[in-house]
A and B are shown apart, each in its own frame.
Chain A
Amino acid sequence: GEDVEQSLFLSVREGDSSVINCTYTDSSSTYLYWYKQEPGAGLQLLTYIFSNMDMKQDQRLTVLLNKKDKHLSLRIADTQTGDSAIYFCAENSGTYKYIFGTGTRLKVLA
């Protein structure tokens, strides 16, 4: 079945860039998403990328997609303490289901 993997932890200093990586197995993925989850809260959509795109930039967020390697990354520029959260990538292959990654816990050090 489909599988989405992420590294579990990332720690960066405030002001540095963060790069969160995600790999997936479903080659028919049409949309790939990045969600942010703060403690005790639901998921907030940060950004998404369509599978025929290589890159998408949205303010401090840059998404890179390598479809050949099935690799997705989220870069957060000028990371702030408020960016500390769990980040989930998710893929959707045009069905009703989203497949979520394991989540990456980002800790931003002041």
Chain B
Amino acid sequence: GAVVSQHPSWVICKSGTSVKIECRSLDFQATTMFWYRQFPKQSLMLMATSNEGSKATYEQGVEKDKFLINHASLTLSTLTVTSAHPEDSSFYICSARDLARGMNTEAFFGQGTRLTVV
């Protein structure tokens, strides 16, 4: 299957700093990328959906000014956690789909990023 690379795999940052997480589709064009957050022993919570070249759509309760999403190209989306706090510590996962091929195309997932804010 297609490959989605997420970087970094883990990051530790100080409270108040910003952290950028990258999500790249390596061998297909990702018209749409999704960012999820996963708390320990819980399911994936969709944070936002980004389409290439347009503003991200955030789910209810997700602060768009805190979680900045950029999807400037068909192969790269970034999530920046701004002014991080310990409660932002979590596992963040991206997924990518090529919806130009239809609404039922498969989603491919990145490996996830473990963020720890100290």
The residues of A with any CB-CB pair to B shorter than 8 Å are 30-31, 35, 40-45, 48, 88, 92, 94-98, 100-103, 105
* B111/A41 in contact, CB under 8 A: yes
Least CB distance from B86 to A in Å reads 20
Q: Within 8 Å CB of B41, what residues of A?
A: 103, 105
**Stretch in contact with the other chain, from B14-22, B42-50, B64-72, B75-83:** B42-50
Least CB distance from A51 to B in Å reads 10
Q: Which of A42, A96, A100 contacts B43 (CB 8 A)?
A: A100
Q: Within 8 Å CB of A48, what residues of B?
A: 106
Q: Does any Cβ of A come within 8 Å of B25's Cβ?
A: no
* Centre residue among B1, B93, B97, B109 by max chain A CB count within 10 A: B109
Q: Which of A40, A88, A94, A100 contacts B112 (CB 8 A)?
A: A40
Q: Within 8 Å CB of B4, what residues of A?
A: 42
Least CB distance from B4 to A in Å reads 8
Q: Within 8 Å CB of A105, what residues of B?
A: 41
Q: Within 8 Å CB of B97, what residues of A?
A: 96
CA distance A42 to B93 in the complex (A): 7
Q: Chain A: which residue is nearest B4 at the CB level?
A: A42
Least CB distance from B41 to A in Å reads 8
The residues of B with any CB-CB pair to A shorter than 8 Å are 1, 4, 6, 32, 34, 41-44, 46, 49, 91, 93, 95, 97, 99, 103-104, 106-112, 114
* A44/B99 in contact, CB under 8 A: no
Q: Which of B44, B99, B108 contacts A96 (CB 8 A)?
A: B99
Return 18 A-B CB contacts under 8 Å, by A number: A30-B104, A40-B91, A40-B112, A40-B114, A42-B93, A42-B109, A42-B112, A43-B44, A44-B109, A45-B1, A45-B106, A45-B108, A48-B106, A92-B104, A94-B103, A102-B43, A103-B41, A103-B43
> A88-B43, A96-B49, A102-B42 in contact; A42/B103 too (CB < 8 A)?
no
> A88-B43, A100-B44 in contact; A42/B49 too (CB < 8 A)?
no
Q: Within 8 Å CB of A35, what residues of B?
A: 109
Least CB distance from B22 to A in Å reads 14
